[in-house]
Amino acid sequence: MQNQDTKVEASKPQTTRERVGLVVSGLDAAAAVAAIVEAEAEGVRLIWMTQSTPLPDALGIFAAAGAKTSSVRMGTAVVPTFPRNPLALAQQVLTVSDLAPQRLRLGIGPSHRPIMEGVYGVPLTSPLEHLREYVSVLRAILWEGEIDHHGRFFNIHTKLTRTPRTPILISALRENAYRLAGEISDGAISWVCPVPYLVEKALPAMREGAAQSGRPVPPLIAHIPVALSQDRQSVLLAARHRLCMYGKLPFYASMFANAGFPVSSDGTMSDELFDSLVISGNEDTIRARIVDMLAQGLDELLVMPVVVSDAVGEQARLARLIGQL
């Protein structure tokens, strides 16, 4: 069930700048902390980080960044659920909350079979059922401070000395996942989904899930790759380098087909699909596209830089653009 604080927070009017977050790379923990500090100085109000394997821990980076910043919010997009017991994850959340109170948004998700089974050696069993139970456990620990849970996946009995009441968001790809997000979460985080698919399929599914639970519709945070370049061929090359793996993942291939962009039998993604996923151009063009996407009904944007030629310079320009929205 959605918490009362989240309902109040969601009802507050937000400026455009507060609805656009910047993805910071986690390749190097010290560099990531420095980038978050710099982004806050540029006026960015929300930072997102992925939790990729085997890169440094995103929540550890947020703990360090929280001690060096004063107001920027930070969100994970997303922490994989299968390798981490929810109680252990809650302990990490408590650490970040102590250092940066009310500034963390916890995005979680089941990840994908090639990663869970091929890298971690963990069976990916009933991912949505696992995610539903995981959210239920986290909600009890982080919001109520006490849990006595005996389910299919977890048996946990404990109390916390304090409750950080951290918003819990979930990753979503297909309509059933968006429906689940509407039903149980504080928000859905998309990844590599064309905007028309989000507007026409994801948002209605979230509304259905929320109506089924008798709760307000939580926000949809849309992942938007952005390339600061007006050279289409350079953008396509950079986008293929950054995103081509998703065409080879069955869940994504199915979503792309449902969105009207089927991939080839070997997982190759078309130029038209990349055009639908990546916004590109100069600062004025990208600013106009961001405003237009928000006007289409998306609640927030999660802006991920697609590096064309200068990773440091393009990240700084994008931070400056978002900070001036």
Confidence check: pLDDT of 11 > 90: no
φ, ψ of residue 75 to 5 degrees: the values are -140, 145
Q: Please compute the mean of the pLDDT values over residues 222-226 and round it to a whole number.
A: 98
State the Cα–Cα distance between residues 273 and 192, nearest whole angstrom: 10
State the Cα–Cα distance between residues 215 and 248, nearest whole angstrom: 36
Give 185-211 pLDDT, tens digit per residue.
Answer: 999 999 999 999 999 999 999 999 999
In this prediction, residue 8 carries a pLDDT of 32
In this prediction, residue 97 carries a pLDDT of 97
DSSP track, 51-88: --TTSPPHHHHHHHHHHH-SS-EEEES-EESTTS-HHH
Give 117-146 pLDDT, tens digit per residue.
Answer: 999 999 999 999 999 999 999 999 999 999
Confidence check: pLDDT of 105 > 80: yes
Percent of the chain with pLDDT over 90: 93
**128: Cα separation from own chain's centroid:** 17
State the Cα–Cα distance between residues 257 and 122, nearest whole angstrom: 28
Give 252-273 pLDDT, tens digit per residue.
Answer: 999 999 999 999 999 999 999 9
Report the 10 Å Cβ neighbour count for 200: 13
Q: Is the dihedral of CA 83, 191, 285, 203 positive or negative?
A: negative
Percent of the chain with pLDDT over 70: 96
In this prediction, residue 294 carries a pLDDT of 97
What dihedral do alpha carbons 238, 277, 172, 56 form, nearest 10°?
A: 20
For the chain, give the mean pLDDT: 94
Alpha-carbon distance values, 195 to 91, 256, 317 (Å)? 35, 11, 24
Q: Please compute the mean of the pLDDT values over residues 216-238 and round it to a whole number.
A: 98
Decide: 270 and 243 in contact? Cβ < 8 Å: no
Give 69-81 pLDDT, tens digit per residue.
Answer: 999 999 999 999 9
State the Cα–Cα distance between residues 170 and 280, nearest whole angstrom: 27
pLDDT band at 53 (very low <50, low <70, confident <90, very high): confident
Q: Tell me the pTM.
A: 0.94
Q: Which residues contact 217 (CB under 8 A, 6 or more apart)?
A: 182, 206, 207, 210
Report the 10 Å Cβ neighbour count for 310: 11
Give 279-321 pLDDT, tens digit per residue.
Answer: 999 999 999 999 999 999 999 999 999 999 999 999 999 999 9
